[in-house]
Structure formats: C-alpha cells, structure tokens
Chains A and B, each alone.
Chain A
Amino acid sequence: MTAITDSGTTPRKATRPPSDNRQRVRKYTSDQVPLGSLLLRLLAGLVVLVVFLLPYLIMFFGSVKTKAEIRSVDPTYFPTEWHWDNYVTMWSTPETPLAQNLISTLVISLCATLLVLAVALPASYYTARFRFRGRLLFLFLVIVTQMVQPAVLTSGLFRQFIALGILDTWAAMILVNAAFNLSFAVWIMHSFFAGIPKEVDEAAQLDGAGTFAVLTKINLPLVWPGIVTAVVFTFVASWNEFAASLVLLTTAGNQPLSVALTKFVGQYETSWHYVFGVSVVAIVPVVILFMIIEKRLVGGLVAGSVK
C-alpha cells in the first residue's frame, strides 16, 4: 500500500517542474503575443513609469534650481542653470539644522535596525523550529503590533517617555521604531527558517552541535536573504518614520529629516530647492535598498497569507 502511494506521488512530483517551465515559457516570451497588444503594453508601461517617477523628477530638477528660479511666477520645468552647489549650501539653511537632522535619522535607523535584528532573529528561529505552549499567542501578538501603528499610541508613548526621562532622546525613537518593525522582521525570517528542512538541524545535532551552534553555523547562511530583507525593511521604515518622531522628539536637532522638512511648509519664503535637495539625498539610498529586497517585500507584510 505504501509502495503504491509512493510510486503514485513520485511521478506527479517529477512532472511538476516541466509543467512549471512550460508555463514560464508561455508567460515570458513575447513572440506569441500579437504586436498590437505588445505595443499597447509597452505604452501603458511607459505611462506608469512616467507617473511614478514624476514627483521625484520634479524634486531632482527643483533641487538644482536657484531660489529665484524655483520661486519665479512663470515656473520652468527644467532648470535653466544647474546649481549643484545647492547640495553643499543646503546643510546650513536657517530653518532647521539639517546636518544634525541627517545624523539623527541615521543613528536612529541604524540602532533600531540592530535592535530589531538582535531581538527578532532568536524569536523567529525558535518559533519556526520548536512547538511550545504560548507560541501561537506570541505570533498573534506580533501580528497585532504590525497593525497597530505608533501614530495611534503617541499620546501614551509621550507620557510614558516623560516618566522614564527619555522624551526627546534618540533612545525613545530607537525603541519605537524597533518595536513597531519587529513584526515584519519576525515574519520574514520565520518563513525562511521554516523553509529549512528539520533534518538539517537534526543531522547537526547528531554531530553534537547545541541549539545555538545549529542556529549560527547551520541556519544563518541559509536564511541570509531573509535577514537582509528584515534589515533593509526596518532601516527604511525607521528612516521614513514621521508620526511618533513628531511628538517624541521636541528639540530641532534631535528630529529626523522627515519631521525637519515639514518646517519649511507655510514659511513666507520657503527654500524649496533645499527641501528637494535634502529629499533627493534622503530618498535615493533607500530606494536602492528597497529594490534589493523587491521580491520579498510582500512576504513579511502580509504574514504568510499570500503565497
């Protein structure tokens, strides 16, 4: 009976990859698509490309205009002169200490990322590998924290951090960013750990490796993509955080760029060229980071519900 079931399943498994391949070939070659519809797709793709990049192109072109040009009553689409020196002078604009804001953003994001990694890595490994009482409750708690965002809790956090004496410190925002991005990190790494066959662990344990050694020597190299995804996502999310920083960081120099830049709005003479220069500097690196983890972004956010 067992033999029949086995031989019954083996061919099905064996035929799967070819059928996947066929699907792949059909999906990705364009020679079967009529030229008309291919051109239509190309056109639609071009429109999407332009629409999604437009705000950032306006940002970039604006960042090299002079203040007079960006505030001229008959605005120009492209800069008449390219003032790259804006990228040097913008750091000493009087509205807000932008250089300090950049340092704050960097320190908060890096520390929050390290904290998330230190806390989420063991948790995701253990919950993926071992069954224990309270495991589902823990994972449920993690899902709920992803959905409850800091914005709705700022009034509580504000009073709590006053009481702890860490209001208006980097530590406050490091904790907030770490706590609210923990969920993504736990889920994405959990799914990678769960994908490693248990036999791999057992073989290592037979060779005398302890749980910690199994994690660091055997599992880590295999879940590396998951770790990179968790690190990048946490870093970018902390980099862009706004609502909690707005309330919890009260001194101008402690604030991240996202909060600092809002101070330019509604000024009598807004230095938009500087706003855009700083935006370009803040956006380009995180866009590149996001592109690295593009394929795995959804997995951590929807907690394994879309496969």
Chain B
Amino acid sequence: MKDLAKALPWIGPAVALIAAVVLFPVGLMFWNSTRDISQSGVDDGGVGLANFATVIGFQYFWPILGRTVVWVVVVVGCTLIGSLALAALLNKAFPGRRLVRMAVIVPWASSVVMTTLVVHYGLEPYFGIINSFLVDVGLISTPEGYGWTRHPGTAFAWAMAVAVFVSLPFTTYTILAGLQTVPGETVEAARIDGASGPRTYFSVVLPQLRGAISVAVLINIINVFNSLPILRVMTGSIPGYDADTVMTMIFKYMQNQRQIDLASALSVIAFLVVIAIVAVYVRVVRPLEEV
C-alpha cells in the first residue's frame, strides 16, 4: 500500500478527473433512471423500473433498436471493406502517395457536423449540388431534386454513407499500421511458390491482419453506436421516429420532451451495450498484456 501512496500524487489528478466526470455521472444516470423527474427537473420520488418499462413499451422502441443494429452493422461492415482496400493501396509505392495519405486524414480531423452539413446541402431539393451532379451524369432524372433529406429512409441511407466516409480514415490508418508489421518475407515466399496477387493477399496477408482488424472493428462499433451528429443533421428535422437510433432517441427524450428520467433509462441500456463491447475488446485485444 505504501507504493500506492507514493503513486497517488502522480496519478491522483487523473483518477479524480475520471471519477468526477465519468464514474459519478454513470452512477447518477443509473439512479435517475429509477426516479420520476418532472420536466422542470424536480425529483418526484422512486418509480422502480417503470421508466425502463415506458422506454421499452414505446411503440417505436423495437424498430429503433433494429435500426440501430442495421446502422452499426452496415456502417462498420462497409468501413472495414473500404479500409482494407484503401490500406492495401496506401501500403504500395506510387508517386503522390504521401499526398493521398494526407487527403485521407481530412475527414478525420474535420468536424463531423460540418462534413455532414455539406452533404445535407448537396442533397437539398432544387439547389443541392449532389442532386445536380447526379442529374448531369444521368443517374437521376428529376432536375428539381429528389427529396433525399425529406424521407426518413433515404435520409438514413445517406447518413450511413456519411458515417462510412468519416470512419474510413481511422480504420484505414489502423489497418495500415497492421500491414507494416506483416514481414515482407512471407509475401515473397508466397510469390515464389507461385501464388497470385489476390491469393497472396487473402491467404498470407489478411490472416496476419487479424489483430489490427479486430481493434479497428471493435473501436468502430463503439464509435458508430455512439454517433449522434450525422443523424442529427441528416434526419433531425424529419418528424416522427422512422430514422432514429438509440442515440438520437436519447437526445429526443432529453431535449424535445425534456424527460430526463426516460433519457436516463435509455442511456443506461445504451451504456450496458457499450460496456459489453468494451468487455469483448478487453478479452479479444488484451490491451494490458504488455504494459
């Protein structure tokens, strides 16, 4: 215990910050999820699990949950496939590669809100530039614009496309870091044995990327599950609940309906999902093995 006392001045501030801004709100959230809290914020006493019953009993709850699964699976899946291709390209030598690597970083550094806003504008009926482009190349035929952002289905689909776009940089860089640990000898050996390019990639390179891929996929699952800004911008102005995920629903409870007790109950559910994914991460990736 003496060594811990000696460590405290060094790690104490970090522990205090985490305790005050991460752990305490978690506890408070669990507590609030069992209370009846009025719209003006007055705690009207305990209600057991009634808030959870209300949240799960909401007629759009199961569709929202299903949509959240679609959101995570499609976005993470497409991101992984795109990133594997991108990383393979960026790992090869060609003039201007550095420039391309820098371009890939731009959506990562940029505010997701601002990136989504451009796409939203581009899809606006009548004056959206993406609409106009799609008409010019003959993919759609309505020059006044298709109401992409007015219908929950199409707005949600475009939101998924934006989510893939902004998730690509991190995933590509993680896989690229993994690719750099693949020994050149193994690739060379496969080539000497007469394996084709794709064959070498799928049976020699890809298995060695398993570590990098599991890290990238698990972190992406959490990020995409927690993502708010893209859907907020793309589908936030559509009435109803046909384009919501768990995360946007939490914010609707909190802001539109001012029901912090229901928001807390749904947040607790979301939090448990996140913790489950973190548990998988810790088991699969074993991040503390070598520290």
Contacts and interface: CB of A to CB of B under 8 A. Distances in A.
B77 interface: no
A132 B255 CA distance: 45
Chain A facing B: main interface SS: helix
Interface in B241-269: 247, 250-251, 254-255, 260, 263-264, 267
Contacts of A153: 22, 25-26, 29, 267, 271
Contact of A262 (B17, B100, B233, B254): B233
B11 A122 contact: yes
Interface stretch (A1-9, A70-78, A90-98, A196-204): A70-78
Interface string A222-252: 0000000000000010011011001100000
Contacts of B13: 118-119, 122-123
Nearest to B131: A75
Contacts of A36: none
Contacts of A130: 3, 6-7
A283 B29 contact: no
A213 interface: no
B233 to A, nearest CB: 6
A59 interface: yes
B149 to A, nearest CB: 9
Contacts of A302: 174, 177, 215-216, 219, 285, 287
Interface in A123-138: 123, 125-127, 130-136, 138
B28 A156 contact: yes
A39 B219 CA distance: 35
A83 interface: no
A154 B270 CA distance: 12
A132 B110 contact: no
A286 interface: yes
Contacts of B255: 246-247
Contacts of B53: none
Contacts of B97: 45
A133 B1 contact: yes
B287 to A, nearest CB: 4
A151 B104 CA distance: 26
B177 A306 contact: yes
Contacts of A186: 14
A289 B10 CA distance: 29
A297 interface: yes
Contacts of A283: 106, 109-111, 114
Interface string A269-299: 0101001100100110011011100100111
B139 interface: no
Interface stretch (B55-63, B68-76, B198-206, B224-232): B224-232
Given A73-B127, A240-B111, A23 B184 contact: yes
A67 to B, nearest CB: 11
Contacts, number: 327
B190 interface: no
B113 interface: yes
B231 to A, nearest CB: 11
Nearest to A175: B21
B122 A58 contact: yes
A165 interface: no
B177 to A, nearest CB: 5
Interface residues of A, number: 114
A53 interface: yes
- Of B3, B86, B286, B291, chain A has the most CB atoms within 10 Å of the CB of B291
Interface string B125-157: 011110011000000000110000000000000
Contacts of A298: 170, 173-174, 176-177
A266 B93 CA distance: 45
B232 A262 contact: yes
A142 B9 CA distance: 17
A251 to B, nearest CB: 15
23 contacts: A41-B94, A45-B96, A45-B100, A48-B89, A62-B129, A115-B17, A132-B7, A138-B15, A141-B15, A143-B278, A148-B271, A148-B275, A152-B270, A155-B254, A179-B21, A242-B229, A243-B229, A258-B113, A262-B232, A291-B109, A297-B173, A301-B170, A306-B181
Interface of A: 23, 26-30, 33, 38, 41-42, 44-46, 48-49, 52-53, 55-56, 58-59, 62, 70-75, 77, 115, 118-120, 122-123, 125-127, 130-136, 138-145, 147-149, 151-160, 162, 175-176, 178-180, 182, 186, 190, 194, 236, 239-240, 242-243, 246-247, 257-259, 261-262, 264-266, 270, 272, 275-276, 279, 282-283, 286-287, 289-291, 294, 297-299, 301-307
Interface of B: 1, 3-4, 6-7, 9-11, 13-15, 17-18, 20-22, 24-29, 32, 41, 86, 89, 92-97, 99-115, 117-122, 126-129, 132-133, 143-144, 165, 170, 173-174, 176-178, 181, 184, 211-212, 215-216, 219, 222-223, 226-229, 232-233, 236-237, 247, 250-251, 254-255, 260, 263-264, 267, 270-271, 274-275, 277-278, 281-282, 285-288, 290-291
Chain A to chain B: the 10 pairs with minimum beta-carbon distance, closest first:
A156-B25, A156-B29, A126-B10, A179-B21, A290-B109, A266-B237, A41-B94, A132-B3, A279-B114, A123-B14
Given A141-B18, A262-B229, A294-B102, 6 more contacts: A23-B184, A148-B22, A158-B260, A182-B17, A289-B109, A305-B287
